[in-house]
Structure 1
Amino acid sequence: MKNLVIYTVLICFGLATPPLFAQGDSYINDYLERLENSRKYIVLVAETMPEDKYSFRATPESLSFAENLLHIGYAMDWHSQSLLGGRASRDWQTDTIFKVSSKSKAEMIALINSTFDETIKLISEFDTTQLDDHLDYFGLNRSKRQILMLLADHITHHRAQMLVSMRLNGLTPPRYVLFQ
C-alpha cells in the first residue's frame, strides 16, 4: 500500500511538472517573437532616418538619434549577457563598442542586428527554471522574468525617442509593427 501511495505521488508530480516547464517555454517563445518584431521595427526606423540626421538631438540634454540606437544595443547586451547570462558588465562610461564615435549608419545598424542575434540566442537557450530567480537591479530585487520585461520596456522607451527625432526632422516614421 505504501508503494502505491509513493507511485501515485510520483505519477501526479510527473504529470504536473511538464506544464510548469511548458509555461516557461511559452513565455520565452512569446518573448522571442516580440523581440524579433522589435528588431525588425528598430532596424526599419534606423534605415529610414538619413545618416546626416543621426546626430540630431531633440533637446541639448537628449541623446542623439544614433546614441539612442546604440544605447538600445548596450542595454540589450547588459540585460541579456550580464544580468541573465552572468558575464561581467561593460562600463557605459568607458565602453567603445556601443559608442557612436565615428561609426557609420551601416555599422550601427549591423551592430544592433548582431546584438539582437546574441540576445535572441541567449534567451532562446535560457534555462526557464531560472525565470523566478532574483537579482539586484539598481538596488531593487527583481526576478529574471522582470528583467526580460524591463529590457523590452527599455527598447520601446529609446525607440520612441528616435521616432520623435524623426518627426522633428519632418520624417514620417515607419508604420508601427504589432506584437513588440
Structure 2
Amino acid sequence: MKQLQIALCLTFFALAATPLFSQQNEFIADYLERLEQSRKYLLLVAETMPEEQYGFRATSESLSFAENLMHIGFALDWHSQSLLGGRESRDWNTDVIYKVSGKSKAEMIVVVDETFEAAIALIQKFNPVQLVDRLDYFGLDRTKRQIFLLLADHITHHRGQMLVSMRLNGLTPPRYVLFQ
C-alpha cells in the first residue's frame, strides 16, 4: 500500500512539473529569439551611424554613441556571463575590451557582436531550472528570470539613446525590427 502511495505521489509530481518545465524551456527559446533580433537591430544601428559621429553626445552628461554601444556590450557580458553563467565579473575600471578609447567603429562592432554570440551560446545551454535561482542585484533580491528581463530592458534603453543620437545628427535610424 505504501508503495502505491509513493508511486501515486511521484506520478502526480511528474504531471504537475511537466507544464512548469515546458514553460521555462519556452521562456528560454522565446528569449533567444528576442536576443538574436535585438543583436541584428543593434548591429544595423551601429553600422548606419557614420564613424565620424561615434563621439556624438546628445548632452554633455550623456554617453556618446560609441560609449552606449560599448556599454551595451559590457552589460551584456556581465549579465550573461557573470550573473547567469557564474564567471567572475570584469572590472570596469581595468577592463579594456569594452572601452571606446583607441577602437574603430568596425572594432567596436566586432566586440559587441562577439559578446552577443557568447551570450547566446551560454543561454542556449542554460538550465531552465535555474530561472528561479535568486541572487543579489545591486542590493535587490532577484531571480535569474528577472536578470534575463533586466538585460533585455537595458539593451533597449541604451539602443534608444543611440537612436536619438542618430536623429539629432539628421539620420534616419533603421526601421524597427519586431520581437526584440
Q: TM-score, normalised by structure 1?
A: 0.97
Instruction: Name the structure 2 match of 1:142.
Output: 142
Q: Distance in 2 between matches of 1:88 and 1:10?
A: 38
SS in 1 for 2:9: helix
Question: What's the CA shift for 1:84?
Answer: 0.8
Alignment of 1:32-71 (within 5 A): 32-71=32-71
Work out the CA distance in 1 between the residues paired with 2:64 and 2:94: 18
Q: What letter matches 2:152 in structure 1?
A: A
What residue in structure 1 maps to residue 130 of structure 2? 130
Corresponding residue number in structure 1 for 2:26? 26
Query: SS in structure 2 opposite 1:80?
Result: helix
Greater shift after overlay, 1-10 or 142-151?
Answer: 1-10
Matched letter for residue 165 of structure 2: S
Q: Secondary structure at the match of 1:131?
A: helix
What is the CA–CA distance in structure 2 between the aligned matches of 1:92 and 1:62, rounded to whole Å?
18
* TM-superposed deviation, 1:33: 0.4
CA drift at 1:20: 1.7
Question: 2:137 and 2:20 mapped to 1: Cα distance?
Answer: 26
SS at structure 1 position matched to 2:141: strand
- Give the CA deviation at 1:95: 1.1
Matching residue of 1:4: 4
1:155 maps onto 2:132 in alignment: no
2-structure distance, mates of 1:132, 1:9: 23
Task: Give the match's secondary structure for 2:135.
Answer: strand
- 1:132 partner amino acid: V
1:141 and 1:14 mapped to 2: Cα distance? 29
Quick one: percent identity of the two aligned structures?
Answer: 71
Aligned equivalents of 1:169, 1:152: Cα separation in 2: 26
Structure 1 position 4, deviation (Å):
2.3
Aligned to 2:94: 94
Residues 143-166 of structure 1, C-alpha deviations (whole Å, 9 max, x = no match): 111011000000000000000000
How far is 1:43 from its partner? 0.4
Q: Cα RMSD (Å) of the superposition?
A: 0.9
CA–CA distance in structure 2, aligned partners of residues 60 and 4 of structure 1? 72
Distance, in Å, in 2 between the alignment partners of 1:64 and 1:152 is 20
**SS of equivalent residue, structure 2 residue 132:** coil
SS at match of 1:136: strand
Which 4+ residue blocks in structure 1 deviate beyond 6 angstroms?
Answer: none
Deviates more, 1:88-97 or 1:49-58: 88-97
AA in 2 matched with 1:121: A
> Structure 1: which 5+ runs fail to align?
none
Structure 2 residue runs without a partner (length 5+): none
TM-score (norm. length: structure 2)? 0.97
